Amino acid sequence: MNDIPRNPKSRPRIVLAMIPGLERSLFNEDHLAALRAMATLPETEPAVPFESERAGRLLRDAEILLTGWGCPELSAAVLDRAPRLRLIAHCAGTVKEMVTPACWERGLRVITAAEANAIPVVEFTVAAILLANKHAFQIRELYRRERRYGLWHHTTPGIGNLNKRVGIVGASRIGRRVIEALSPFDFSICVYDPYVSEQEAARLGVEKVELDELLRSSDVVTLHAPSLPETHQMIGARELALIPDGAALINTARGALIDGAALEKELSTGRIRAVIDTTEPETLPADSPLYDLPNVFLTPHIAGASGTEVYRMSALVIEEIGRYLRGEPLQHEVRQEDLPRIA
């Protein structure tokens, strides 16, 4: 346990830890000014690698470690170099690749901007659902190839968003936001999540079903489960075969949720369509058929915060650091017991 008392009269020191150069994208001058108004920010260049002499000098007096994508693992050896550390403020989503048991053993508090990162993922997902039901990606290819007037609904039966069924795999932070965002549309929504009760599903306004039923009955299946040992390749060849002809599969969660080889084989038949933003591996090999299949809309993990959207994460973390320094309850804290169920 980190038992060094905090002196409320001293200015806490904030040290950055992330991919070098990322700080220039995450924090503008207003963000840096807000941090400096609350604390001492000795340097804006990230203190990585942690083994360096410079990092040791910065970590020695750090009370707050402001982390981002690419922050190295916070092992016991690293934490030994930061005896005054009390708060890890992660300006990104998941903390699983960074936080270790040593962090909890030392009583460190951890916050994350996952809530802010969820917003663009939800936006991307809802857009993908609406466009998938309109067969927009496939019709674009037809129109570009044929360059003529056509009754496209004859070419693509089932086109349209009215009275479609959307199946949501995982009532996670993002899954629940997707449910809420879909409420204005004329959809029926079903959910598969073993942690959601019938009563909770009713409160969400959705139907709780088993995975097989969801896959068989949905016009669009969208994945929002966390990447855990029990969800690894939860969508395999058997599950993909259950999806109706012409239906669409959307993955903005993690590539590891799907058996990649089975996905390539199924999509190569043209029987179903897909919007794929996350894959396993993160960058597919150059000879992957997913790059060229006309029934696949493939993007390189862009659904999450990027460009201007990262500032939403920066603002959340800075506000949360302010709450910590004022002794107020934290709104975005991650606890050790949360880890088995979060992304």
How far is residue 317's CA from residue 68's CA, in Å, rounded to a whole number?
11
For residue 7, is it within any domain?
A: no
**Pair 132, 146 in one domain:** yes
Alpha helices (H) along the chain: 23-26, 29-38, 53-59, 76-80, 101-105, 114-133, 136-146, 152-155, 173-181, 198-204, 211-217, 237-242, 260-268, 310-326
- Distances in Å between the Cα of 24 and the Cα atoms of 20, 77, 92, 116, 300 are 9, 28, 15, 19, 22
- Distances in Å between the Cα of 70 and the Cα atoms of 59, 248, 306, 323 are 17, 33, 15, 25
Residues in the chain: 343
Q: Which domain holds residue 266?
A: 118-298
Based on its alpha-carbon atoms, the radius of gyration of the chain, rounded to whole angstroms, reads 23
264 catalytic per annotation:
no
133-182 tens-digit pLDDT? 999 999 898 888 889 888 877 778 789 999 999 999 999 999 999 999 99
Q: Is the pTM of this model over 0.95?
A: no
**Pair 133, 234 in one domain:** yes
Residue 7 binned pLDDT confidence (cut-offs 50, 70, 90): low
28-74 tens-digit pLDDT? 999 999 999 999 999 999 999 999 999 999 999 999 999 999 999 99
Give the sign of the dihedral formed by CA 325, CA 331, CA 333, CA 335. Answer: positive
* Residue 1, pLDDT score: 41
90 catalytic per annotation:
no
Pick the catalytic residue: 282, 319, 328, 341?
282
Task: Look at the chain and report how many structural domains it folds into.
Answer: 2
Pick the catalytic residue: 173, 254, 273, 332?
254
Pick the catalytic residue: 31, 165, 216, 301?
301
**Pair 218, 315 in one domain:** no
Give the sign of the dihedral formed by CA 59, CA 64, CA 66, CA 70. Answer: positive
Tell me, what CATH number does 317's domain have? 3.40.50.720
**Pair 327, 225 in one domain:** no
**Pair 107, 148 in one domain:** no
DSSP state of 45: S
207 catalytic per annotation:
no
**Pair 135, 231 in one domain:** yes
- Distances in Å between the Cα of 278 and the Cα atoms of 110, 258, 290, 329 are 26, 10, 12, 34
226-241 tens-digit pLDDT? 999 999 999 999 999 9
The residue type of 141 is: E
**Pair 139, 252 in one domain:** yes
**Pair 181, 64 in one domain:** no
**Pair 181, 83 in one domain:** no
**Is there a cis peptide before residue 281, judged by omega within 30 degrees of 0?**
yes
For residue 9, is it within any domain?
A: no
**Pair 59, 142 in one domain:** no
**Pair 166, 52 in one domain:** no
